[in-house]
Structure 1
Amino acid sequence: MKIKAALLSKIHGDYTIENLRLAEPREDEVRVKLVASGICHSDEATRIGDSTIPFPAVLGHEGAGIVEFVGSEVKNIKVGDHVVMSYSYCGHCANCRTGLPAACNDWPALNSSGSRPDGSHVFNQEDGTPVSNFFYQSSFATHTLTKENNLIVVDKSADLRLVGTLGCGFLTGLGTVINGLKPTVGSSIAIFGTGAVGLAAMMAAKISGCSTIIAVDIHQSRLDIAKQLGATHLVDSSTGDTTKQIKAITDGLGVNYSVDTTGISAVMQTALNSMRTRGTMAPVAVTSKNMDINTFRQLVVSSKKIIGVLMGDAIPQISIPQLIKFYQEGRFPFDKLVKFYKLEEINQASKDSANGSTIKPILIIDEHYKN
């Protein structure tokens, strides 16, 4: 079938709205009509080449929509279901079967190879040129094909214009704290970068009972938002030595936990240095930058840890309904962070996200949808 999508043809290119051909769904696939999609930092990282995928491609991995077709092998999804889409996982490797789908052995192939496992493509240009998909969902499109494991059925009372954003950035931030760091009640944490992921991590720290929650950024407007959402202390890292400021807040000891969402080498180093003995750091940004450390001096002597947490170590089918519940209870007010754009405004939305003027852009793909 013919669809419309935002096509990205090269690294550092602009998106172009084009007509594409969507393949016939297979027995294990689901066709979804998109209502909306968030724009995530991972989309921008892929656009500028910090993360790789074959071009041309349709990006987008925070989609929400309505199921139009269900393959015969799909068991728990039906036509008409309202769904949020997240990452893909196989469901049968050892990690998946022990509740760690974000560590799926086939994660790279399923989410960033650009094709189905057999090498065929979900999208093609009208001249037959193959187009890569992304996270097996490619939500910057009017329709897409995806897998059952990508889908989270949500109540039809949930606003699909909002909840798609829970599929990656907000999921990563909350899950990094709750599932990865697992802070103890009364502990301290510093969040470096107060974009969507950082603010989600900060709200998760509050939900988890951290008593000292330090938001670190160079933008005062974002720090003001962090204060509204639960930060106990604010550090403008452009005004002085950030490590000294954090240690002053924590009686000279440093924080128990730190999360870096910036991917900037110097900031990651500061996130490590700002922790106390036995502190744990989670660097979660998609970045091409490196971090130089002396493992003995900076890790062994102080018993510090650096952990990798992909997609918040979350099981989307459990964590996304949990996020919606937190939102309904007023504990995760992510709607305060969003701004809506039309699909045709994707380049402006992408720029606004990259320069920080919009924390979480949402593309409205079906403008006729009503909640």
Structure 2
Amino acid sequence: MIVKAAVVNAAGEDYTLSDLTLSEMQPDEVLVKMVASGMCMSDETIRKGGTSSVAFPVVLGHEGSGIVEKVGDAVKGFKVGDQVVLSYAYCGQCPSCQTGHPSVCDDWMTLNFSGVREDGSHTFHKEDNTPVGNFYGHSSFTSHTLVHQSNLTKVDADADLRLIGPLGCGFLTGSGTVINGLKPEVGSSIAVFGTGAVGLAAMMAAKIQGCSTIIAVDIHDSRLELAKKLGATHVINSKLEDPLEKVKEITAGRGVNYSVDTTGVSPVIKTALTVLAKGGVIAPVAVSRNNIEINLTAELTMSSKSMIGVVMGDGVPQLSIPQLVKFYQEGRFPFNELVKFYPFDDINQAAQDSAGGSVIKPILIMDESYTASSVK
């Protein structure tokens, strides 16, 4: 089968729209016709060569949504015509998976970053038979893709597939960090550093969880205005104000109970730790090579503060994605305010707009003919 895919041939190169051959479907796979895909900062990091974990050439994308066209003989729970959201792959057998934490699956790196199936074969090939790697076990920057059943979450027929693909990664990460990781109490306080897709998702989740003080910290007034619209009770432009002093002012000198850093910038992470009240918890979630230096006694032990790691929001996609769809339909998770749609052919412009900060969450439309019953 010939598919149209956005290929990155080498680190730092733009996306090139190419015709690729899709391999024969294996028994545990599903053929999905892509409708749309969000673009994540992880895609941009890989494209620019920010990690050695992924080999080129590769088809990126991991926030896809589409329609099932064919189902392998060993697949259960899916049928032709199902609407699905694509997320990360996991084995389902290791202790982490079996205790409800598939985002730290023992085989997570192999299944999601190796670029090949479990048997070592490739799903994509160029015309000259050059293999092309996949990403997150599937790749969503393509007209069709082969997906292992563990990557798939079925959604209702009235869910708009053009919108909900980003629930598979960015919005899952931000919301899950709060809901599953920090688990804030009703009436507690939280500061979110960075108001991109992940940060704003964390902030909206904090509102859902009943936090009474929600502080958004960023350097862009336009994003802070959006944060206020989406539930922030206070905003701080850290270019103009000292976040530490401002948080003390907001919290009567006590600090916040929880904080989330989505920037990965060392001084910002340190500030997100410092603004915590005694007994507070910080979750730094950005993918970053940066470090911070901590005096364990003074900055953690004596104030009973904690720092936790949360990967992919510690979410089980098949549970968390439908939950987020429900929150959206109820008007409690209005992530549609953060997106901008682009034709698939404009993928490089979408990447540029995202990297430049003018767009929070670009979504590529692969199937312009798609309509959803929920869309009037």
Same fold (TM over 0.5): yes
* One-letter code aligned to 1:128: N
Unaligned runs of 5+ in 1: none
The answer as to whether partners of 1:283 and 1:308 remain within 8 angstroms in 2 is: yes
Question: Superposition pairs for residues 334-345 of structure 1, below 5 Å?
Answer: 334-345=335-346
Q: How many residues align?
A: 371
Distance 1:48 1:245 in 2: 36
Q: What does the per-residue CA deviation read over 1:214-257, in whole Å, with 9 as the maximum and x for residues that have no partner?
A: 00000000000000000000000101321111111111111110
Whole-angstrom CA distance in 2 between matches of 1:48 and 1:301? 42
| SS at 1:205 equivalent | helix
Q: Secondary structure at the match of 2:58?
A: coil
Contact 1:62 1:85 in 2 (8 A): yes
Asked if 1:142 corresponds to 2:137, the answer is: no
Matched with 2:9 is 9
Larger displacement relative to structure 2 (46-55 or 146-155): 46-55
**Alpha-carbon displacement from aligned partner over 1:145-194 (angstroms, at most 9, x marks no partner):** 11111111111111110011111000111100000000011110000000
1:193 aligned residue = 194
Mapping for residues 207-222 of structure 1, pairs under 5 Å:
207-222=208-223
SS at match of 2:224: helix
2:36 corresponding residue in structure 1: 36
Shift, 1:106, TM fit: 0.6
Instruction: Give 5+ residue unaligned stretches, structure 2.
Output: none
**CA offsets, 1:107-136, max 9 Å, x none?**
100111111122211111111111111111
1:79-121 Cα distance to aligned partner (Å, 9 max, x none) = 1111011111111111111111111111100111111122211
Q: Is the 8 A contact 1:50 1:286 kept in 2?
A: no
Cα offset for 1:288? 2.0
Is the contact between residue 45 and residue 287 of structure 1 (CA under 8 Å) also seen in structure 2? no
The secondary structure found in structure 2 opposite 1:317 is helix
Q: Distance in 2 between matches of 1:237 and 1:217?
A: 6
Q: Which residue of the partner structure matches residue 286 of structure 1?
A: 287
Q: Distance in 2 between matches of 1:278 and 1:62?
A: 35
* Percent identical residues: 63
Cα distance in structure 2, aligned partners of 1:10 and 1:258: 37
Structure 1 partner of 2:49? 49
1:279–1:49 CA distance, 2 compared to 1 (3 A) = farther
Structure 1 length-normalised TM: 0.98
Displacement of 1:292:
2.1
**Other-structure match for 2:154:** 153
Letter in structure 2 aligned against 1:260: D
Distance, in Å, in 1 between the alignment partners of 2:276 and 2:50 is 28
Specify the code of the residue in structure 1 equivalent to 2:76.
Answer: K
Structure 2 partner of 1:301: 302
Secondary structure class of the residue paired with 2:303 = coil
Q: State the secondary structure of the residue aligned to 1:140.
A: coil
Q: What does residue 24 of structure 2 align with? A: 24
CA RMSD of aligned residues (A): 1.0
Q: What is the CA–CA distance in structure 2 between the aligned matches of 1:286 and 1:294, rounded to whole Å?
A: 23
Q: Within 2, Cα distance between the matches of 1:267 and 1:349?
A: 27
TM-score (norm 2): 0.97
| Cα-to-partner distance string for 1:248-296 (whole Å, 9 max, x where unaligned) | 1111111110001111111111111111111111111112222222222
* Distance apart, 1:53 and its partner CA: 0.6
- Aligned equivalents of 1:49, 1:34: Cα separation in 2: 26
